[in-house]
């Protein structure tokens, strides 16, 4: 029993013991700071419902009693003028009814039979009893109504009290937030080290100040606007004339570096400029004093709130890729206040414990100067993870400082830079590439769907598709006076040497850069000179190749890999910052592509309204399909619920390497009765030009089918709820280590 043992007890009519609530101590009012909005709203709703229910119940009882009284009076006292109009007039009615009954008794003749007289008196007494019962009922009803009125008045008073407390609580929350912000803004000046300082401007902006030479590395997504001096990010030089640019460094990729550049003084950093930005006067004096003593650069950093960071990454891509893009912040960091504001993790070169950060090869500047000479067509070759994409972005950003745009011919369908995997494309780039490939998807000038990641399955289609791209690019006059950068695959062994040689023969570059790694397993077996390429072309049964250049001549340069520079750095490797695998990157690329359709109201591709297409007017093709898929119904069954390429034939040419790929789509449903097909795609108006749907080996991530969206409740049919064993798992390719690598361990 505990503390309830000695309390006085009460019993009900059934002798059931109850606690006497009068002796219980009243609970103390909780402070307003501990109340929540939901609690106040719930109390207000409770009081409103109790008032409404009590009024309805009283009206129902009142109507039923009035009907009962009227029936009894009409049947037994039809001659009387008794009617119930209001409870307050009940006494007067009772008096009138009694007087009328007495008058009736006087007017009636004396009856000698005692039995008749007794019956009349009993009837009269019975009527009097009924009237008395009705009076008691009305009294009880009045008491009940008084209680309800008192209750409703009390409820209204309490509701007003709770409303006032709720308003007080909301004001207190706003005050506390403002206090925290004010306290945070008071700590405006934070230093990472002697060379890097941060100064908070407002709730969304931070001023970065770096003395030259210094470097800052970060994970996250920011917008950067230079106000004084010069910075360099991934080969792109930023000065005060450069517009506000987004910089992406997702968790799971190498940290992006922000580096100062010593190249004269650019911009004016005056007292008025800093005060207009919102910097306090004390910090303005300190900044200007520091500016006089050292070579200095300053930029305004802002939290990136683009569509990619607000909808695609956190809600859609992270769910179906099982990857996190924003970093996990540590409370013991020096810059925790700045990092919480920008949702980024900043580190200096000395504080990093691993080698997962951006580095440049000193030869890259020479490559840039050499590619500007002559025809300006550079091809980048190298093995897997040798740094081809990083070098390509560096060269693009450097070229944009001298040219308005750069043409990139992407010949790597497995790790494509601007479009989802499975395509070779030609893209005209006119803005810096400040992040990994899935942060800058661009609509290509021309794209051809290959349908495969492994080019061993259909190499002729791959080479002929690149030939189609080159025919288009060489035929357009607008591309003749800008640099060309050709990105190739990392397939450097066996048949990959033949494929790479055929690609170089088709694109006919003026300059070839071959990246060489310290690990020989990643490299080509030999140097890709023009003579070696001519001897190792892909040969067809009928001829050597459709695109053979008799005079192939280019300059050649061999450079080291960034991977070697990273591994040579004396740091510990941690599993926390392991980079994404190629399979995961392909999934992220596909999900980010369809993430264009999302916004604040539409948070899943299943909520997007699909396009409706008459499939009797389009062709459906299956790449590498068997002979049993010749009929239309079988092909429709294959593409239903799958990822397809939206293509347009070139003047009715049936060769798939001549098809122009306009984008990708997901077949949501097929109506065979009306011959309609429902398609979800971000292509937009270009969908009117689609005349062929092509299904290749590129598929949606498995999680799109197995994980339901937030709007769907329950379990998806035909999916398993348990973790499969090793015999039932999805088959994936694994790297088989060589004997040399095993012995080295």
Predicted confidence at residue 111, as pLDDT, reads: 41
d(CA 395, CA 234): 9
Interior/surface letters 667-700, b for 16+ CB within 10 angstroms, e for the rest: bbebeeeeeebbbbbbbeeebeebebbbbbebeb
Q: Which two tokens stand for residue 356?
A: 């997962």
User: Are the C-beta atoms of 559 and 581 separated by less than 8 Å?
Assistant: no
d(CA 700, CA 641): 9
- pLDDT averages per 10-residue partition of the chain, 745 residues: 48 48 44 46 59 61 61 48 40 45 46 48 57 64 68 71 75 67 56 84 85 90 90 92 91 90 67 74 71 76 82 80 83 84 88 82 88 84 90 94 93 93 94 92 93 88 93 91 93 90 92 89 88 83 49 87 66 54 90 88 86 91 72 88 91 83 94 92 90 91 81 69 55 47 42
d(CA 438, CA 580): 12
Q: Which two tokens stand for residue 364?
A: 């890259």
309 φ, ψ (degrees, to nearest 5): -85, -25
Residues 6 or more apart in contact with residue 96 via CB below 8 angstroms: 81, 82
User: Are the C-beta atoms of 12 and 18 separated by less than 8 Å?
Assistant: yes
DSSP summary character for residue 314 = I
Q: Give the HSE-up count for residue 320: Cα atoms under 13 Å, Cβ half-sphere.
A: 30
Beta strands 676-680 and 611-614 are: antiparallel
Q: Give the HSE-up count for residue 36: Cα atoms under 13 Å, Cβ half-sphere.
A: 3
- What is the topology classification, in CATH, of domain 605-707? Elongation Factor Tu (Ef-tu); domain 3 (2.40.30)
User: Are the C-beta atoms of 728 and 700 separated by less than 8 Å?
Assistant: no
CATH code of the domain occupying 364-542+549-563: 3.40.50.300
Q: What is the location of CATH 3.40.50.300 in the chain?
A: 364-542+549-563
Residue 515's SS3 state is: strand
User: Are the C-beta atoms of 397 and 235 separated by less than 8 Å?
Assistant: yes
712 φ, ψ (degrees, to nearest 5): -105, 130
Say how many C-beta atoms besides its own lie within 10 A of residue 384's C-beta.
17
Predicted confidence at residue 195, as pLDDT, reads: 85
Q: Which of 212, 393, 379 is nearest to 294 (CA)?
A: 212
Q: Which of 506, 343, 307, 351 is nearest to 426 (CA)?
A: 506
Predicted confidence at residue 170, as pLDDT, reads: 75
Q: What is the location of CATH 2.40.30.330 in the chain?
A: 605-707
d(CA 704, CA 717): 13
In order of 172, 391, 717, the CA distances from 176 in angstroms are 6, 49, 49
Say how many C-beta atoms besides its own lie within 10 A of residue 559's C-beta.
20
d(CA 686, CA 346): 42
107 φ, ψ (degrees, to nearest 5): -70, -25
Count of positions (residues) in the chain: 745
Predicted confidence at residue 89, as pLDDT, reads: 43
Residue 410's SS3 state is: strand
d(CA 441, CA 683): 13
Say how many C-beta atoms besides its own lie within 10 A of residue 102's C-beta.
11
Q: Which of 342, 343, 347 is nearest to 206 (CA)?
A: 342
Predicted confidence at residue 101, as pLDDT, reads: 47
d(CA 430, CA 453): 28
d(CA 600, CA 307): 9
């Amino acid at each position: 029993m505990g503390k309830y043992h000695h309390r006085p007890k009460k019993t009900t009519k059934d002798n059931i013991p109850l606690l006497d609530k009068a002796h219980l101590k009243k609970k103390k009012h909780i402070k307003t700071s501990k109340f929540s909005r939901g609690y106040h709203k719930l109390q207000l709703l409770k009081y409103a419902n109790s008032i409404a229910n009590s009024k309805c119940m009283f009206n129902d009882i009142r109507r039923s009693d009035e009907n009962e009284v009227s029936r009894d009076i009409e049947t037994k006292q039809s001659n009387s003028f008794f009617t119930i109009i209001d409870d307050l007039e009940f006494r007067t009615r009772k008096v009138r009814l009694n007087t009328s009954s007495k008058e009736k008794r006087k007017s009636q003749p004396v009856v000698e039979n005692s039995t008749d007289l007794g019956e009349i008196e009993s009837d009269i007494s019975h009527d009097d009893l009924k009237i008395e019962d009705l009076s008691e009922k009305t009294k009880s009803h009045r008491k009940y109504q008084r209680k309800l009125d008192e209750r409703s008045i009390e409820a209204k008073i309490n509701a007003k009290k709770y409303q006032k407390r709720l308003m007080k609580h909301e004001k207190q929350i706003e005050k506390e937030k403002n206090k925290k912000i004010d306290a945070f803004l008071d700590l405006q000046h934070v230093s990472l080290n002697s060379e890097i300082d941060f100064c908070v401007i407002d709730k969304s902006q931070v001023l970065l100040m770096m003395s030259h030479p210094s470097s800052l590395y970060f994970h996250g997504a920011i917008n950067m606007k230079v106000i004084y001096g010069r910075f360099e990010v991934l080969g792109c030089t930023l000065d005060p004339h450069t517009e506000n640019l987004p910089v992406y460094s997702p968790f799971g990729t190498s940290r992006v570096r922000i580096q100062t550049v010593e190249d004269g003084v650019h911009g004016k950093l005056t007292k008025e400029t800093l005060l207009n930005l919102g910097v306090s006067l004390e910090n303005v004096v300190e900044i200007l004093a520091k500016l006089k003593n050292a070579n200095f650069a300053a930029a305004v950093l802002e939290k990136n709130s683009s569509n990619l960071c607000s909808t695609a990454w956190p809600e859609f891509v992270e769910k179906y890729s099982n990857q996190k893009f924003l970093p996990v912040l540590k409370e013991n960091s020096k810059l925790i206040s700045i990092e919480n504001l920008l949702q980024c993790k900043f580190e200096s070169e000395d504080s990093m414990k691993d080698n997962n950060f951006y580095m440049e090869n000193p030869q890259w500047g020479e490559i840039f100067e050499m590619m500007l000479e002559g025809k300006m067509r550079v091809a980048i070759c190298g093995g897997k993870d040798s740094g081809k994409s990083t070098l390509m972005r560096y060269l693009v950003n450097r070229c944009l400082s001298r040219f308005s745009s750069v043409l990139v011919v992407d010949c790597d369908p497995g790790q494509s830079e601007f479009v989802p995997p499975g395509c070779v494309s030609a893209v005209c780039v006119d803005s810096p590439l400040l992040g990994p490939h899935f942060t800058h998807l661009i609509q290509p000038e021309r794209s051809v769907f290959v349908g495969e990641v492994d080019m061993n399955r259909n190499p002729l289609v791959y080479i002929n598709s690149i030939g189609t791209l080159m025919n288009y690019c060489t035929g357009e006059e607008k591309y003749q006076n800008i640099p060309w950068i050709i990105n190739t695959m990392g397939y450097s062994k066996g048949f990959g040497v033949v494929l790479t040689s055929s690609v170089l023969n088709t694109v006919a570059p003026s300059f070839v850069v071959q990246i060489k790694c310290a690990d020989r397993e990643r490299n080509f077996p030999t140097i890709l000179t023009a003579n070696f390429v001519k001897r190792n072309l892909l040969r067809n049964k009928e001829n050597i190749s459709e695109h053979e250049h008799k005079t192939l001549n280019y300059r050649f340069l061999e450079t080291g890999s960034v991977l070697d520079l990273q591994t040579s750095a004396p740091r510990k490797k941690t599993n926390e910052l392991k980079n994404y695998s190629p399979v995961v990157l392909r999934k992220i690329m596909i999900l980010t592509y369809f993430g264009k359709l999302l916004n604040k109201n539409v948070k899943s591709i299943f909520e997007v309204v699909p396009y409706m297409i008459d499939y009797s007017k389009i062709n459906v093709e299956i790449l590498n399909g068997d002979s049993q898929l010749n009929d239309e119904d079988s092909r429709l069954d294959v593409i239903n619920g799958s990822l397809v390429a939206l293509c347009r034939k070139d003047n009715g040419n049936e060769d798939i390497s001549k098809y122009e790929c306009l984008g990708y789509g997901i077949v949501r449903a097929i109506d065979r009765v009306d011959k309609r097909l429902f398609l979800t795609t971000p292509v937009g108006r270009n969908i009117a030009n689609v005349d062929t749907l092509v299904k290749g080996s590129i598929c949606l991530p498995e999680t799109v089918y197995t994980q339901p969206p937030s709007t769907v409740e329950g379990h998806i049919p035909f999916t398993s709820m348990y973790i499969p064993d090793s015999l039932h798992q999805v088959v994936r390719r694994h790297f088989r280590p060589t004997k040399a690598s095993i012995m080295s361990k």
